[in-house]
Chain A
Amino acid sequence: MNILVCLKQTFDTEAKIELKDGKINAQGIKNIINPYDEFAVEEALKLKEANGGEVTTISVGSDQTQEALRQALAMGADKAILVEFPNSDEHATAKALAKAVQGMEFDLILGGHVAIDDNSGQIAIRLAEELDLPQVNVVTKLEINDGKAVCTREIEGGVQIVETPLPTVITCQKGLNEPRYPSLKGIMQAKKKELKRIGLEELGLTVDNKVEILEVFLPPQKEAGKVIEGEAEEAAGELVRLLKEEAKVI
């Protein structure tokens, strides 16, 4: 079976985020494959190992995004596609992905359920809509049998088991698998594997962002908690006063 994996390059989870001129200062920050997308890569590789076929990873991004694609190739993916379209929003990214995969033969599209940087969680969903494919999100267990995908997904207070015909789009959640470290062979071979770069022009796509970022700011510094002393009645009164006057939440 042929599997497409959509992945995004994000900042390392341990990176210290600083702002410079109203933007995140990327200098000196290590980049990684978005951890949820890494689950998708791992799942694709496991399915390939069990059923044969090919794993193609695809990303919309800049020159630097190649690193993340190469990392997926080192893990064992067969091919990679980079759609050169930096700073695209969710709408434009999904359009670009849909256009790029048009005409490709695949049984499954996998991706993370959300990226840890902007937390928007829209791309795979939009892509499924663009391609008119069924989608199952936030999946923690996946089985493929007889042209069908049986997915276990997290829902409020429980789990839900969903069956869908292939091809389909599935987004991955923590718990699905434990991503592998690339082997030395994988790392050394990654450079020799195909990484195709396509520009928007080549795709024949004209699309504009619909979202404009007005301001980027860091969350306020967390301050020490406050313990309100005194009898219950008195303390409750003080709490209400603080919520009104200091926290201004009521």
Chain B
Amino acid sequence: MDFTISEELQALRYNIRGFAEEVIEPKAQEIEENDKIPEEIIEQAKALGLFGMSIPEEYGGTGLNLLERCIILEELGRTQNGFSSLLGAHTGIGSTGIVEMASEDLKQRYLPRMATGELIGAFALTEPNAGSDATNLKTTAELKDGKWVINGLKHFITNGPVADVITVMAITDKSKGARGGITAFAVEKNFPGFSVGTVEKKMGLKGSYTSELVFEDCEVPQENVIGEIGRGYANALKILNKGRITLGARCVGTSNKLVELCTTYAQQRIQFGQPIASFQGIQWMLADMATQTEAARYLTYRTAWAADHGDPVIKESSMVKLFASEVLAKVVDMAVQVHGGMGYMKEFPIERFYRDARITRIYEGTSEIQKIIIANRLLKEFKVDA
């Protein structure tokens, strides 16, 4: 067992931290106020190759493995999380389907431009009546005159309004349901019959947009099927599985930043004639925050590493998503407490982290769904014959 972080990973961390803290953080307040990530940040991120981190080199990306991507998302988690959400959705669930399951033709068509950030990706599974119960999809795709025709409504789609290519899940055979009846499609924003619906007003993640996607007789060429017809649900689970690990990494990054902010603030804030860091009540919170964060970090790294070595990590990636987002919830709550009134004010970044943290226990699979996945795996692994 070797826990050494390689030189490349250290260099990656060092440089992405620089980008997060010197380029994004100074604009964090502006992003919050305008609900928009400044163009210069997007341009710089493109120049760095961040949009292509997960896309293989032969399609113009950097083809980083999961551990490397975790380091990047962890560092980006230290600042305004609208940007990391946009990027995480694009490099994760928004492109994984095309990278791993699509035909060579689709890969050639989309990946080189997704790698540069010219095309933005999104993943559309969720519907008003199919959230945690993703098998209850209503969106349908029918084959008519050699084209797939999609009808239905997706909602809560991260990157919805800005996406150019969307991995869309639709029912192709109602009788089979989730077992062979769902298919994944690559839908371009300018396909006839596609439109963006209501853009949601969110609690946090400013600058990252979430919207409805409307499909009204939306025509999709047959070659835009991702993977096999009828394998959509299994593919969706695979796509979500990896996204969970990098989302965990982002939670770890935010938690770690909060530990640093709190430890600093506690030494500067004087009450009763001494820094509040001298009080055991505060010290215990700092110790809990740091310990939990460290545990979440190594669960994340270990799972990413195992996935990079070919392990399917279905149970483990759910553990990462569950644990890291729950740790962040505890850490960010304590962070507000350590900062007292200041933690509630927009003047300090704690309030922003608090709002941005809440969604991590919900999207890309709620905590409860993660527990169901973990328990189901356990019950299979240790099955007792009746």
Chain A interfacial positions (CB closer than 8 Å to B) = 67, 70-71, 74, 180-185, 187-188, 190-191
The one of A184, A190, A191 in contact with B53, judged by C-beta atoms closer than 8 angstroms, is A184
Q: Is the CB of A184 within 8 A of B11?
A: no
Q: Of the listed stretches B41-49, B140-148, B197-205, B286-294, name the one at the interface; the rest are far from the partner chain.
A: B41-49
B53 — which chain A residues lie within 8 A by C-beta? Answer: 184
Majority SS of interface residues in chain A?
A: helix
Q: Is the CB of B12 within 8 A of A187?
A: yes
A67 — which chain B residues lie within 8 A by C-beta? Answer: 7
Known interface pairs A181-B44, A181-B48. Does A187 touch B7 (Cβ–Cβ under 8 Å)?
no
Interface centre among B8, B23, B64 (most CB of A within 10 A): B8
Q: Is the CB of A184 within 8 A of B48?
A: yes
The one of A74, A180, A184, A190 in contact with B50, judged by C-beta atoms closer than 8 angstroms, is A184
Known interface pairs A74-B15, A181-B15. Does A188 touch B62 (Cβ–Cβ under 8 Å)?
yes
* Complexed CA–CA distance, A185 and B47 (Å): 10
Output the least CB separation between A220 and chain B (Å).
22
B11 — which chain A residues lie within 8 A by C-beta? Answer: 70-71, 74, 182, 187, 190
B128 at the A interface (CB under 8 A): no
Q: Is the CB of B8 within 8 A of A191?
A: yes
* Complexed CA–CA distance, A17 and B122 (Å): 47
B18 at the A interface (CB under 8 A): yes
- The tally of residues in B whose CB lies under 8 Å from a CB in A reads 19
Majority SS of interface residues in chain B?
A: helix
A-B contact pairs, 30 of them (CB 8 A): A67-B7, A71-B11, A71-B14, A74-B11, A74-B15, A180-B47, A181-B15, A181-B23, A181-B48, A182-B11, A182-B15, A182-B48, A183-B47, A183-B48, A184-B12, A184-B48, A184-B49, A184-B52, A184-B62, A184-B72, A185-B49, A185-B62, A187-B11, A187-B15, A188-B8, A188-B12, A188-B62, A190-B8, A190-B11, A191-B7
Q: Is the CB of A184 within 8 A of B44?
A: no
* Complexed CA–CA distance, A191 and B7 (Å): 8
B12 — which chain A residues lie within 8 A by C-beta? Answer: 184, 187-188
B19 at the A interface (CB under 8 A): yes
A70 — which chain B residues lie within 8 A by C-beta? Answer: 7, 11
Output the least CB separation between B329 and chain A (Å).
30
A74 — which chain B residues lie within 8 A by C-beta? Answer: 11, 15
Give me 18 other A-B pairs in contact (C-beta within 8 A), A67-B7, A183-B47, A187-B11 excluded: A70-B11, A71-B11, A180-B47, A181-B15, A181-B18, A182-B11, A182-B15, A183-B49, A184-B50, A184-B52, A184-B53, A184-B62, A184-B64, A184-B72, A187-B8, A188-B8, A190-B8, A191-B8
